[in-house]
């Protein structure tokens, strides 16, 4: 099992290219199953979750060719015949549950294992299943599998209100409806860039979707969808993570390339309050750190609000701010496994229900810490880079799920991060 050995403190200077978004790529990969011809997806990151989902697709009989050299993924569903996503693959990643909508859309039936993923917080799929039932799909549970079927080739559709709004459920219902529902309306739909990008790809394939980018989507079935060539979007969470990394290290002057700042929602508004210098120039963002960081409290919200996938990194940044701040997660109430690990490095964080209070500024010193999930893992890397001396970050396989070439990118900008196998 790999670990990182990190020497700090290390300011970041130079440039870091932002990779394609994993969270946006997975729905695009599922959508490719709906085409009558191959699709070619560009800017697909080399990540364990991508490789896992490639294998989920292959199980169905789909041909999947991933070119690591140029991040190009070709998906040909011509021979798709096995309408099942098995437990041994789906348990590794919750997003594999998108296969329910994709197989329903493709063939009108599906058998998909209940999902796995990061070990924090309840993220039930009940919302997905209720939405499919509102669409007219028959849903049964059988020994840990969801079995979905239809009484005919199509359903009349209907409407469904997502309470709460959910990216995963919105994606799944879109995939299921575009070829199977006469008319289906999703209310309180997620407006995240990942959902907008999926709808853009499906429209290019020939889908009939109105209301893209709003909280109400209206989908009318089409008989056929064609394969397309389509570009994934830059990873907005990776962008925010590297912005935070630069801000928390005095002496940093970092430029991020290949970004899409418009996908960041309100995150730049909070970032501007820190007192660091930030420039947005086209698809580049330059961050010049300041001697002192202002404490900035945040609450996570659905897009375009502050993303839950950046709250651990923000709390880590606040350990180096001059004063007290509070980070509250209103999306997931159990996403604070990083707190005791940060405290081992010398931070002063206290959790109360779904909030953590950070007393800054605290000097950090190297220690051994344990990763528990994807975003917690990267927050520990950021802290170790700011700490004095040597740190070990254990179980970095979590990072390989969501950050492409992380140590190479950081080291190219002046960090000292070495990967070791235990």
Q: Can you say whether the dihedral through the CA atoms of 142, 146, 150, 156 is positive or negative?
A: positive
Q: What is the mean pLDDT of residues 347-369?
A: 97
Q: Tokens in use for 375?
A: 């975003």
354/335 Cα distance (integer angstroms): 8
Question: Does the annotation list 43 as a binding residue?
Answer: no
Question: Does the annotation list 125 as a binding residue?
Answer: yes
Question: Does the annotation list 331 as a binding residue?
Answer: yes
Question: Does the annotation list 89 as a binding residue?
Answer: no
Query: Given this model, what pLDDT does residue 372 score?
Result: 83
Assign 307 a pLDDT band (cuts: 50, 70, 90).
very high
With beta carbons less than 8 A apart as the criterion, state whether 287 and 249 touch: no
Query: Given this model, what pLDDT does residue 117 score?
Result: 43
403/374 Cα distance (integer angstroms): 9
Question: Does the annotation list 124 as a binding residue?
Answer: yes
Question: Does the annotation list 2 as a binding residue?
Answer: no
Above 60 in pLDDT, residue 351? yes
Question: Does the annotation list 339 as a binding residue?
Answer: no
Q: What is the mean pLDDT of residues 303-321?
A: 96
The predicted-structure confidence for 96-116, as pLDDT tens digits, reads as follows: 899 999 999 999 999 999 875
Q: Is 118 a catalytic residue?
A: yes
214/211 Cα distance (integer angstroms): 5
CATH of domain 22-220: 3.65.10.10
Domain 2-19+234-421 adopts which CATH fold? UDP-n-acetylglucosamine1-carboxyvinyl-transferase; Chain (3.65.10)
Q: Tokens in use for 411?
A: 């080291």
Supply φ then ψ for residue 154, to 5 degrees.
-135, 165
Question: Does the annotation list 203 as a binding residue?
Answer: no
Above 50 in pLDDT, residue 74? yes
pTM: 0.94
Above 60 in pLDDT, residue 7? yes
Domain 2-19+234-421 and domain 22-220, same fold? Reply is yes
With beta carbons less than 8 A apart as the criterion, state whether 378 and 6 touch: no
Above 50 in pLDDT, residue 122? no
**What DSSP string runs through 82-135?**
--EE-HHHHTT-GGGGHHHHHHHHHHS-EEEEPP--SSSS---SHHHHHHHHHH
- Which of these is catalytic: 30, 100, 118, 209? 118
The CA-based angle 209-20-410, given to 5 degrees, is: 155
Mean of pLDDT over the chain: 94
Q: What is the mean pLDDT of residues 142-166?
A: 94
Query: Given this model, what pLDDT does residue 144 score?
Result: 86
Among 23, 37, 30, CA closest to 54 = 30
Assign 90 a pLDDT band (cuts: 50, 70, 90).
confident
Give the domain ranges of the chain: 2-19+234-421, 22-220
């Amino acid at each position: 099992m790999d670990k990182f050995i990190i020497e700090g403190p290390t300011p970041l200077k130079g440039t870091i290219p932002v990779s394609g978004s994993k969270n946006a790529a997975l729905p695009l990969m599922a959508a490719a199953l709906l085409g009558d011809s191959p699709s070619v997806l560009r800017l697909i990151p080399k990540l364990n979750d991508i490789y896992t989902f490639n294998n989920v697709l292959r199980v169905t009989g789909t041909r999947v060719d991933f070119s690591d050299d140029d991040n190009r993924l070709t998906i040909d569903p011509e021979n798709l015949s096995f309408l099942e996503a098995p437990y041994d693959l789906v348990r590794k990643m919750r997003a594999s549950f998108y296969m329910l909508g994709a197989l329903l859309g493709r063939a009108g039936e599906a058998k998909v294992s209940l999902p796995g993923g990061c070990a924090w917080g309840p993220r039930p799929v009940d919302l997905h299943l209720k939405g499919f039932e509102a669409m007219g799909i028959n849903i049964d549970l059988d020994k840990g599998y969801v079995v979905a079927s239809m009484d005919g080739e199509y359903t009349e559709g209907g409407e469904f209100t997502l309470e709460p709004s959910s990216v995963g459920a919105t994606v799944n219902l879109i995939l299921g409806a575009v070829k199977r529902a006469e008319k289906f309306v999703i209310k309180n739909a997620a407006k995240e860039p990942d959902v907008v990008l999926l709808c853009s790809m499906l429209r290019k394939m020939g889908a009939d979707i109105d209301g893209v980018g709003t909280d109400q989507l209206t989908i009318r079935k089409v008989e056929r969808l064609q394969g397309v060539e389509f570009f994934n979007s830059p990873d907005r969470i990776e962008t925010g993570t590297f912005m935070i990394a630069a801000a928390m290290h005095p002496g940093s002057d970092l430029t991020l390339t290949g970004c899409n700042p418009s996908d960041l929602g309100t995150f730049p508004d909070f970032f501007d309050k820190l007192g660091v210098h930030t420039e947005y120039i086209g698809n580049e963002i330059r961050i010049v750190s300041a001697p002192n960081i202002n404490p900035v409290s945040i609450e996570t919200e659905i897009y375009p609000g502050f993303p839950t996938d950046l709250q651990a990194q923000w709390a880590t940044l606040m350990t180096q701010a001059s004063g007290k701040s509070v980070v509250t997660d209103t999306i997931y109430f159990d996403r604070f496994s990083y707190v005791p690990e940060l405290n081992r490095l010398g931070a002063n964080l206290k959790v109360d229900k779904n909030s953590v209070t950070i007393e800054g500024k605290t000097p950090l010193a190297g220690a051994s810490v344990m990763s528990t999930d994807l975003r917690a893992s990267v927050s520990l890397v950021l802290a170790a880079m700011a700490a004095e001396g040597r740190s070990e970050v254990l179980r970095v396989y979590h990072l390989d799920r969501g950050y492409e070439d992380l140590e190479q990118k950081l080291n190219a900008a002046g960090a000292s991060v070495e990967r070791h196998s235990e």
